[in-house]
Amino acid sequence: MSTETTSSVQSEPADASGSALSRSREAFISHWGEMGTSWGVPRSLAEIHALLFIEGRPLCTDEIMERRGVSRGNVSTTLRQLSEWGIVTRVRVRGDRKDYFEAEQDVWNLLSLIVRARKRRELEPLLAALEDARALASDAEDAPKEDRKETKAHLDRLKSMHDALRRLDRLSDRFIGRGGKGLDVAVRLLTPLL
């Protein structure tokens, strides 16, 4: 997704009537926020992303603030982080000088961007930590004979964990490439087996 585009879409006001559509949107946003917190993502970040995704149209900072009841600083920080992840893009709306933001709408590309961000934040540091732990334990191989068996078992556990995560890392690289289409193909192929 490019970092900035021009849109001919005119921003429309939110549906404040309490309609079924409005309630459905709010339910999705709320659930996405709860899910985000279970992944270690701030609720407001997940909810702002959900708002942009479910609206399916560009929203300006003021509208996001009003709809979510959060400060300008919070919205600004959140939009910057979502943009860094590649799941939100700044767009221009013709005839309006404000900056607008829209979420990636291709679900498979969105999922691949999220997986890529989580991989960078969680999996890669874990692999590095396992390699460091293995290097430290390798130094203990010249320990007394009675400790060698325990050291070998420890190294075997670390190697097993490292190898499994490295395979998962390589597999995720294959699936998150090509704009998430690899992930879509994998899901379609594996679904009948479940």
What is the DSSP track for 123-174? IHHHHHHHHHHHHHHHGGGGS-HHHHHHHHHHHHHHHHHHHHHHHHHHHHHH
pLDDT score, position 142: 72
Residue partners of 61: CB distance under 8 A and separation at least 6? 72, 75, 76, 79, 98, 99, 101
Domain ranges across the chain: 4-103, 107-193
* Cα–Cα distance, 60 to 96 (Å, whole number): 10
Q: In this predicted model, what pLDDT tens digit does every residue of 92-151 receive, in sequence order?
A: 989 999 999 999 998 888 888 888 888 888 899 999 999 999 998 887 667 777 788 888
Q: Which CATH number fits domain 4-103: 1.20.1440.230, 3.40.50.150, 2.60.40.10, 1.10.10.10?
A: 1.10.10.10
> Rounded distance, CA 65 to CA 62, Å?
5
Q: How confident is the model at residue 180 (pLDDT cuts 50, 70, 90)?
A: low
Compute the distance between CA of residue 161 and CA of residue 135 in angstroms, rounded to an integer.
14
Which residue, 78, 83, 87, is CA-closest to 110? 87
H or E segment and range at residue 64: helix 61-68
The pTM assigned to this predicted structure is: 0.71
